[in-house]
Structures are given as structure tokens and as C-alpha cells.
Homo-oligomer: A and B are copies of this chain.
Amino acid sequence: MRRVCITGGAGFIGSTLADRLSTDGVQVVVVDDFSTGRHEFVAELLERPGTRLVEGDVLDQALLEEAIAGCDWVFHLQANADVRRGPDHPGRDLEQNTIATSTVLEAMRAVGTSRIAFSSTGSVYGEPNVFPTPEDAPFPLQSSLYGASKLAAEGMIGAYAHAYGFTGVVFRFVSILGERYTHGHVSDFFHALKADPTRLRVLGDGRQEKSYLYVQDCISAMCTAVAAHESDAGSTQVYNLGTDETIVVDESIAVITRHMGVSPTIEHTGGRRAWPGDSPLIHLDCARMRALGWAPKLTIEQSIIVTLDWLEANAYAMSERAGLR
């Protein structure tokens, strides 16, 4: 791997991956439109020789072709990741996740780059009956527009492998935590408690069981898997990425309040699901990824604490929230 393109490369996971690969001597082309990505995340990276920023949107195929030409791999991480608000904007997941992935694949085909690593999601399992859920769990029904749009993208990658000899590596992520994490569960609670440490409103009954993975563990897994499939033209591999533990929402709130030194009254809005399409239990079987020799280094509790410390030390991440559509 000599040169890669990372879509969403100025985002939370993308910029962390870019830093890692660049440190390992890989030339990195970052594609980002900075709608949720941040210049702060790539400022240092872009000063290194061989690193390049292509500012623009992944629906712009010509721009993508220019960015991807000469790359060995595309890490397609750009996405609309606002799972919860999917039903308010049903076209957004289709456009930003499904159609965008098609545009990336077509740009790759146009310039002769045929290896793609893709950030999918455990949400593609809908509401599974098997826990921990393996990659070959029973064919699921989709329960969120977000999951459906990521599944659509996975499907196109599989088809491109068959039709055009592409190499696909698909990662089904749990929620990722760590430095540069700017939106989601932990961030919502952190900011709410900063604003009012006496009370905390929690969507759902607080008993949903979630999985989290530390971003550096996530990056290590991606790099390990991609290296393992460098020469697997015409195939698609799927890997769940998570920890072997889960945490109940109320427990993660206990970790957060303890670390922040606050004692709010917890108000549950009630209901098994926090929002339509929320999955009451996410626990992925990551044996396939572990079989490649990978293991996460941080527990869920440790990754929550790293995240809180980063949020505390980087107040600018607060302004990010205003930018969320």
C-alpha cells in the first residue's frame, strides 16, 4: 500500500486513519466537504509531504476521479451517520450513503483503482435474533434508513467485486469512541450534563444494550484486514468490528457521571427503543476479525473515559454540534 484515498478523511474516524497510515509511510489523499469533518483534525497531517486534501463532495464523480487516480485503496468512510434523525430526512441516507458509494465505485472504475474498504454498520442486522451476531447471521430485515442505505452500499461493493474484479473489505462497526468523537450518545450526555449537571433526560428506558469500540482499536482492525486482503481481487470480505462486551445505557451514564463528578436525576422517556429504528441490543460476534490476530486494547469503560477527557480538553468540538444538520 503506497497511496490511499480516504473519503470523509477529515472526520472522526477518517482523520485518525489518515494519521495512522501517514505515520506508516503511506501517502494519503483526504476527500472531505467539511460538512461534519474538521480542519483541525487534518491540519497537522496536511503539512506532511505526500499528503493532499481534495475539498468537495463525494457525489462529484470528476472530483473523486482526480482524488483516487493513482491510489491502491479507497477507504470510503464519508457518510451521513445521523441514524436517529433518518426518518426526518429519508432522502439523505439514500443520497449520502447509497448514491455516494455508487459514485465512489464508478470513479474507481474510471481511474482503474479496484480496492475498497468500507465503513458499514452493525445496524445492517436490524433487530437480530442471534447474539453475539455473526457476519452470516440470518438474512435480516432492515429497521433503519441508515442501516438500509449502508446495506445497499455493501451490496454494490459485492456486485463490483463480481462484475469488475474489485477487492472489497466491508467493516460493520459498532459505535466508535475516542479522540475526535464529536457526536453520538456519549457526546450528547456530556454536553447535556455540562449545560445542566442536575438532571439528564435519556431517550428510551435506559436498558438498551450497546457496543462501543475505541477508535484506535478500530483503525488497527481496518489496517490488519486490509493488509490480509491486498491480493484478493474479485472477492468481498465482511468483518464485524466491536468488543466482546456490551454496556447498558444506564451503566454508560453511570460511567459518565462518575467521571464528570456530577449526580443528576435521570429521567427516562421510556420505551424499548430510543427512536424508531434504534436497536435495543447490539452485540457483534467479532471472531472473524480476531482470527486475523487483532484484539481491542481498551474496554468500553476505558474508551468512554478517553472520550470524555477529549471532549473536556477540546471545547471547540462543542461548536461542531451547531453544525449538525
Task: Name which residue of chain B comes closest to A146, CB basis.
Answer: B159
Task: Name which residue of chain B comes closest to A170, CB basis.
Answer: B141
Query: Is A156 in contact with B135, judged by CB distance below 8 angstroms?
Result: no
Q: Please give, as numbers and ranges, the residues of chain B lying within 8 Å of A156 by CB-CB distance.
A: 94, 142, 145, 148
Q: Nearest-CB distance from A145 to chain B (Å)?
A: 4
| Chain A at the B interface: SS class | helix
Task: Name which residue of chain B comes closest to A236, CB basis.
Answer: B141
Q: Nearest-CB distance from A234 to chain B (Å)?
A: 9
Residue-wise interface mask of A (63-94) relative to B, using a CB-CB cutoff of 8 A (1 in contact, 0 not): 00000000000000000000000110011001
Assembly CA distance A143 to B156 (angstroms): 9
Q: Nearest-CB distance from A252 to chain B (Å)?
A: 24
Query: Is A163 in contact with B102, judged by CB distance below 8 angstroms?
Result: no
* A140-180 CB contacts (< 8 Å) to partner B: 140-145, 147-149, 151-152, 154-156, 158-160, 162-164
Query: Is A159 in contact with B277, judged by CB distance below 8 angstroms?
Result: yes
Q: Please give, as numbers and ranges, the residues of chain B lying within 8 Å of A91 by CB-CB distance.
A: 102, 106
Assembly CA distance A140 to B156 (angstroms): 13
Query: Is B99 in contact with A159, judged by CB distance below 8 angstroms?
Result: no
Q: Please give, as numbers and ranges, the residues of chain B lying within 8 Å of A98 by CB-CB distance.
A: 94, 98, 152
Task: Name which residue of chain B comes closest to A275, CB basis.
Answer: B163
Assembly CA distance A105 to B154 (angstroms): 22
Q: Please give, as numbers and ranges, the residues of chain B lying within 8 Å of A154 by CB-CB distance.
A: 142
Q: Please give, as numbers and ranges, the residues of chain B lying within 8 Å of A109 by CB-CB distance.
A: 90
Assembly CA distance A198 to B146 (angstroms): 54
Assembly CA distance A137 to B86 (angstroms): 28
Q: Please give, as numbers and ranges, the residues of chain B lying within 8 Å of A140 by CB-CB distance.
A: 139
Q: Please give, as numbers and ranges, the residues of chain B lying within 8 Å of A126 by CB-CB distance.
A: 158
Q: For A91, A151, A238, which residue has the most chain B Cβ atoms within 10 angstroms? A: A151
Assembly CA distance A238 to B138 (angstroms): 13
Assembly CA distance A78 to B94 (angstroms): 19
Q: Is residue A47 contacting chain B, with contact meaning CB distance below 8 A?
A: no
* Chain A positions near chain B (C-beta within 8 angstroms): 86-87, 90-91, 94, 98-99, 102, 105-106, 109, 125-126, 135-145, 147-149, 151-152, 154-156, 158-160, 162-164, 236, 238, 276-277
- Beyond A94-B99, A142-B156, 8 extra complex contacts between A and B, CB < 8 Å: A94-B98, A94-B102, A136-B138, A137-B138, A142-B155, A145-B159, A148-B158, A163-B276
A-B CB contact pairs (8 Å), 22 listed: A94-B102, A94-B156, A98-B98, A99-B99, A125-B139, A126-B158, A136-B139, A141-B158, A141-B236, A141-B238, A142-B156, A144-B159, A145-B156, A145-B159, A145-B163, A148-B155, A148-B156, A149-B152, A149-B155, A162-B276, A163-B276, A163-B277
